[in-house]
Amino acid sequence: MISLQHLHFSYRKGRPVLDDVSLSLRPGRIYGLLGRNGAGKSSLLYNICGLLFPQSGKSEVIGFDPSKREPSFLQQIYLLPEVFRLPDMDIAQYLQLFTPFYPAFDHSGFHQYLEVFEIPRNHQLSALSHGQQKKVLIAFAIATRAKVLLMDEPTNGLDIPSKHQFRKVIAGSLAEDQCMIISTHQVKDLDSLIDEVIIMDGTHVILQEPVTRITEKLSFRHVMSLEETEAPLYTEGALKGYAVVAVNRRQEHSRLDMEMFFNAVLLEKKSILPLFKQ
Amino acid sequence: MEFNHTQAIYLQIADFVCDQVQLQHWLPEGKVPSVRELAVTLEVNPNTIMRSYEFLQQQGIIYTKRGMGYFVSADAIKKITAMRKEQFVQEELPQFFRRMFLLGIELDELKGRYEKYKQRQIKA
């Protein structure tokens, strides 16, 4: 559904942001895009939707070359940016202005999401709080029924109940022919939604693996002392004992601690990444 | 539903389904919530629910009718009990024995307590 091959991108010469990035993403799945600040997550999303053009490499998204920005492509892809500014109008006017770009737009879905998010109707968008505006935009994004839905830090600025609402709405809307990419630092908000993890580090995609394969290879445990565990790859001190990432030798079915996995991959690249190359 | 941090989510969901069946909230031959419904309720990826349902189907606890979704098997309660008994023997009992051993408790000491516990359960 999304295929990127050897993508190179830089804003300025000699300062690569994406260096030989290749990805292949399938429909019906939610991808979690993780990386430190400045690792190139947003630039990658912008390259996928045709907001930025790669200097070299080949990209194909739902059968289109994004950099050609063909209307039939743009109708099927939506980017929810991290930073946004909504125009000074009410929701009805906003819909009137922007839904014609998305022929598959689901009006009843949109209003249903607004209800879930408890957004008051008939308000000027500018009279809503930032978090409420973000929720309007999230509702709009999902209601476009775009085949490719890119969300840059969607839970930033949402309060705790809204994060629950967000998970419900996403869990209920993912379609079989749809691919979602969510970039995030707030891994804990979203880890129950993510099928597959993509980790970027220093201009590269260093890992793309389904959650199921990660927990096949690695086991995530809490232990009282480090002697209790064999083959630890990475440990963090916890309130009682240690949280450990270890090689999964006994076919345990542990739960992926995505935040710890992310830290582990960045700090112990040499011991963890080869496990996934087998 | 609060997920714990140790066990894979799909197994915790399978456990939740087994609870519903054992408690007879979901009845034998009754329909199980659709993948999407349960995904929304539990706020997890629908693919994870799918994995739980496939697992339960392998265990013979639920079955699928084409185009109609999943249903609780007629003998689901029996199967769950057998599965959980096996789990108890494999996973919980060794830990229980370890505690007993560390505290120097003999099985005979527990017998009376267990009998009393059973009687209280029957009365309640």
At residue A176, the pLDDT reads 93
At residue A232, the pLDDT reads 84
Residues 42-71 of B with CB under 8 A from A: 42-48, 51
- For residue B11, the distance in angstroms to the closest alpha carbon of chain A comes to 8
- Tell me which architecture the domain covering B9-76 has in CATH: Orthogonal Bundle (1.10)
At residue B5, the pLDDT reads 77
At residue B17, the pLDDT reads 95
**Are B79 and B73 within 8 A, CB to CB?**
yes
Instruction: Say how far apart CA A18 and CA A47 lie, in whole Å.
Output: 10
Partners of B71 in the β-ladder: B31, B63
Q: Is B44 helix (H, G, I), strand (E, B) or coil?
A: coil
At residue A189, the pLDDT reads 84
- With a cut of 70, which residues of chain A have pLDDT below it? 228
Instruction: Say how far apart CA A75 and CA A36 lie, in whole Å.
Output: 31
Instruction: Say how far apart CA A252 and CA B113 lie, in whole Å.
Output: 34
pLDDT digits (tens, 9 = 90+) for B72-119: 999 999 999 999 999 899 988 998 999 999 999 999 989 989 999 988
Residue environment code for A129-166, b if the CB has 16+ CB neighbours within 10 A, otherwise e: eeebbbbbbbbbbbbbbbbbbbbbbbbeebeeebbebb
At residue A238, the pLDDT reads 72
> How are strands ordered across the β-sheet holding A218-223?
A218-223, A242-247, A232-237
Q: Where are the domains of chain B?
A: 9-76, 77-123
Residues 255-274 of A with CB under 8 A from B: 255-257
Tell me if B40 and A172 make a contact (CB, 8 A cut-off): yes
Q: Report in angstroms the alpha-carbon separations of A17 from A47, A140, A236, B9.
A: 11, 30, 31, 35
Claim: this prediction has a pTM higher than 0.95: no
**Are A130 and A138 within 8 A, CB to CB?**
no
Question: Can you tell me which residue has the tokens 């606890």?
Answer: B61
How is residue A55 annotated by DSSP?
S
Size of interface A-B (CB pairs under 8 A): 56
- Tell me which architecture the domain covering A2-202 has in CATH: 3-Layer(aba) Sandwich (3.40)
Take residue B101 and report the two structure tokens written for it.
Answer: 């051993």
Q: Where are the domains of chain A?
A: 2-202, 211-276
- Residues sharing a CB contact under 8 Å with residue A62, sequence separation 6 or more, in sequence order: A1, A2, A73, A76, A77, A147, A148
Does any CB of chain B come closer than 8 Å to the CB of residue A168?
yes
At residue B57, the pLDDT reads 95
Tell me if A222 and B48 make a contact (CB, 8 A cut-off): no
- The mean per-residue pLDDT over the stretch B63-67 comes to 90
Tell me if B43 and A222 make a contact (CB, 8 A cut-off): no
At residue A237, the pLDDT reads 81
Tell me if B7 and A193 make a contact (CB, 8 A cut-off): no
